[in-house]
Copies of this chain bind each other. A is one copy, B any other.
Amino acid sequence: MEHIIMAHGSGGEATGELISNVFAKHFQNEYLAQMEDSTVVPVMQGSSRIAMTTDSFVVTPYIYPGGDIGRLAVCGTVNDLLMSGAVPKYLTCGFILEEGLPLDRLEEAAASMAATAKEAGVVIAAGDTKVIENRSGQGGGLMINTAGVGFIPDDQAAYSPSLIEPGDAVIVSGDLGDHHAAILASRMGIENTIVSDNAPLGEMVRALKDGGIRVHEMRDVTRGGLATVLHEFSQACGMQIVLREEDIPVSEKVRSFCGILGLDPLYMGNEGKLVAIVKGEDADEALRLIRSSRYGENAVAAGYVRKAPENESGMLLLETPIGGMRVLGPLFGEGLPRIC
C-alpha cells in the first residue's frame, strides 16, 4: 500500500502525480481542467453580491460512523453559504496531509468530497496540497480546508437577527447531537448505531424560499450546539428566545448515550441541522416544507420569541414541562476538540 511522503507536497513530479491520480480523477470538471494557479468562473446571472466562507476540518477520526472528513468539508462550507441566503456554487479545497497517510484513504476522502459536492450542486474549482511531517509516529493524518463562494440572488430577502420579532417560531430541522455523539463514541471505541448527520441542507433551504416562508434568521447548528446559536441570536436581537424542553428533538439512542456520559444535546455539535427563526404564522407551513425535504423528516417547532421585560437584555430560556424557566448561556469552557 502506498503512503504519502514529503515529496508529494513539494510541487515537483510527485505532487503532479498525486494531482493526476487522486484529485483530478475524482474532482474533474471544466473549471478545474484549467489547471492554472487560479480558476476563472462566471458570476451567477441576477446576482450582484457573493457570499464567502472558509472552514478547516481537522476531525478525528477522519472516517467515522455515517461519514468522513471529505463529506464533512463539503457540507460544512455549503451549509454556511446557504445560511447567508446564497446559492452555493464553487469550493476551493486545501489538503494538508501528514507523511504516512495511506494513499487509498486519501482517495476515499477525495471520492467522498466529489460525491457530496455533486449532491450539493457545487463544483470544486481550485485545490492545493501540502505535506507535513508525521511527528506522532502514528498513522498519518488528514486535514482539509474548504472555502466556498455562493451568489446572493438580487431578490433574496436578508436573514438577520435584527429581523427577529416577538411571536416568531424557532424551527429545528431534526435531532440534535448526532455528529458529536458519533465522533465521541468512535473515539471511545464504543459500539452503537449512532451515525453522524453530516449532510448538505440545500434542499430544505430552497423549499423554504420557494414556499415563501418569511425566514428572519437561520443558522446551521455546529460547534457549540443549538443553545450557543440561539444565545447569540438572543443577544443580537435583544429579545427572549424560549425553548420548550419537551420539544427539543433528540433521538433515543443519542439521549441514552448522553445520559451515560452526562452530556447535554443542546450544546452538542451537528453537521446537518439548521435552526430557523420564522414568522409565527408561517411556522406550520415551514415545518411541513422542511419535513418533506431530504434530511428534514424529524423537524420540530421547538420554541418561540417574546419581548424581554423592560431593562432586561436578550436571553435564551428553557421552559420546563411544568412551566419553569431556566436561563441558558453559550457553551462554556472546552467543547469537544476536533469535532469538525
Contact = CB atoms under 8 A, between A and B. Distances in A.
Interface of A: 5-7, 9-16, 36-43, 47-58, 79-81, 83-84, 86, 90, 92-96, 125-128, 130-133, 135-136, 143, 145, 147-150, 152, 219-220, 222-224, 228, 269, 330-339
Given A9-B337, A145-B145, 9 more contacts: A13-B332, A39-B52, A41-B49, A41-B52, A42-B50, A50-B149, A54-B92, A94-B147, A130-B338
Given A43-B48, A83-B37, A58 B96 contact: yes
Contacts of A149: 50, 52, 149
Contact of A52 (B10, B90, B94): B90
29 contacts: A9-B58, A10-B223, A10-B335, A11-B222, A12-B334, A13-B331, A14-B333, A16-B330, A37-B53, A37-B83, A37-B220, A38-B51, A38-B84, A38-B86, A38-B148, A39-B84, A40-B86, A40-B152, A41-B52, A54-B93, A54-B128, A56-B95, A58-B132, A92-B147, A94-B145, A94-B147, A135-B135, A145-B147, A149-B149
Contacts of A48: 42-43
Q: How many copies does the complex hold?
A: 2
A118 to B, nearest CB: 19
Contacts of A330: 12-13, 16
A150 B38 contact: yes
